[in-house]
Structures are given as structure tokens and as C-alpha cells.
Amino acid sequence: MKIGLFIPCYVNALFPEAGVATYRLLNYYGVDTDYPLQQTCCGQPMANAGFESEAVPLLQRMDNLFSAYDYVVAPSASCVAFVKTQHVCQTSTKIYDVCEFLHDVLNVDDVPGCFPHKVSVHNSCHGVRELHLSSASELNETRYSKIKDLLAMVEGIEVLEPRRVDECCGFGGMFAVEEPSVSVCMGKDKLHNHIATGAEYITGADSSCLMHLQGIARREQLPIQFIHVTQILAAGL
């Protein structure tokens, strides 16, 4: 299979280590991975702000750029969910979050990571309710978590989860800008629930959510660190 690696703009600008870890993981599993240098934003920020007409050309450009690949893989549940659920195109049928791809497509049974730390898993709203990376607590369904399944293979790790496991952290892109007080209040609640687990790190599939929580933790001087799940899975490489 031929994979097109999509690195969202905010990951590229602020959290490049998550993109590098994704590339290393795909190489570890012997996947033929290409990174198109002409890629740009998928258009999610514009669409979320109500400017759909400005988002469509970016989605179309992305579709043209990635049309030749068998799969498109990205380290961002929210960007993947946007392309997959909000636009009918070739890419929407074959784009996967990296955790989803490893778990559902490659069906991996080992990971190279060695991470001897207590880690609390943050389930982002897009990941849970649009990509189904884990079960949604409001539904009567068998409990599962693809991220936990992958992390369970990491040597030395202790995987934890907070109370109200899939409650929103308050980021939500434009929501955090338009309703900052509510957003921060939600973030504080979520952060304290993570810290109450005794974890040293908070991890997840969305750097945007982790960034929001990290900003609050720094302002509050709270003793917790943040790391994208791909960095843990690739920690032994």
C-alpha cells in the first residue's frame, strides 16, 4: 500500500515531533510512506468559523494532492474527522487518524515504544464521536478504546483514565475563542480529573486538546506533562 502522510498545519507549526513520530511508526511497520510537500491546511478552521466557501477550495486541493494514495494518514483526530465527515471526496473515504490506521487497518500486535511512566488518556470529542476511537459514554455500547489497546503494548507504561472519561476539555477551536471563560473552566475541570489519576503525563490523539490543557496547566503551575500518543508508541525508535 502507498500512504500519503498528512500533517495538519498546527501540528507542523507547533508540534512537529508528533508528525515525525507518525512517520517513524509507519516506517517501522514497513509502510511505503510519502509526504507531499505541497500540502496545506484542510480548511477546518474556516469551516468551523462559518466560512465554508473558503474551506472548500482547500479541501479540493487536498483531494487532488492525495488522490493517488491508497490511504491518507494523519496525527490529528479532529482534522481527519473534518475531512471524513464534512466533505464528499476521494480522500474522505480513505483518510485515517494514525491510531485508527494502526488499530483497524494494519492490525498491529506490537509497538516499538518503551515508556515507563503513568499516563492518563485524553479522549477528544472528534476522536470519540466521529472517528469512534473509543466508545461514547452516553451510548449503550460495549466499552472499548483503540488508543488504550495500542498503549497497552508499550513496555513499562501504566495507562490510566480520568473520571468522566470522554467529557469535553473545552477547546473546540472557535468555541475557545468566542467563549474563553467557559472554555477555561471546562479545561480546569478536565485537567484536575486527569491529575487525580496520579498520572505523570496526559496523552491523546489531538495536539489541539493537549495544547489547550497544557496552557492551563502552565498558568496554574500544575505538575503534569503532555505528549502526543504517537510519541509514546514510537518512543523505542
**Which runs of consecutive H residues, i.e. helices, occur in the chain?**
9-14, 16-28, 44-48, 52-66, 77-86, 98-100, 125-129, 146-151, 174-178, 180-195, 207-220, 229-233
pLDDT greater than 80 at residue 87:
no
Helices vs. strands in the chain: H and E counts, helices first: 12, 8
CA 2 to CA 231: how far, in whole Å? 23
pLDDT category at 46 given cuts 50, 70, 90 is: very high
Residue 190: Cβ-neighbour burial (10 angstroms; 0-12, 13-18, 19+):
buried
Quick one: what percent of the chain has pLDDT higher than 70? 100
Q: pLDDT of 60-73, one tens digit each?
A: 999 999 999 999 99
What pLDDT was estimated at residue 88? 77
pLDDT category at 48 given cuts 50, 70, 90 is: confident
pLDDT category at 131 given cuts 50, 70, 90 is: very high
Q: Helix, strand, or coil here: 221?
A: coil
According to DSSP, the β-strands at 71-74 and 32-34 are: unpaired
Average pLDDT over residues 172-181: 88
Mean pLDDT of the chain: 95
Q: What DSSP designation does 194 have? A: H
Q: pLDDT of 138-175, one tens digit each?
A: 999 999 999 999 999 999 999 999 999 999 999 987 88
Q: Please give the C-alpha separations between residue 148 and each of 117, 139, 215, in angstroms, as whole numbers.
A: 14, 19, 25
Structural contact between residues 194 and 161, judged by C-beta atoms closer than 8 angstroms: no
Structural contact between residues 17 and 30, judged by C-beta atoms closer than 8 angstroms: no
Q: Which helix (H) or strand (E) holds 122?
A: strand 118-122
Q: pLDDT of 184-195, one tens digit each?
A: 999 999 999 999
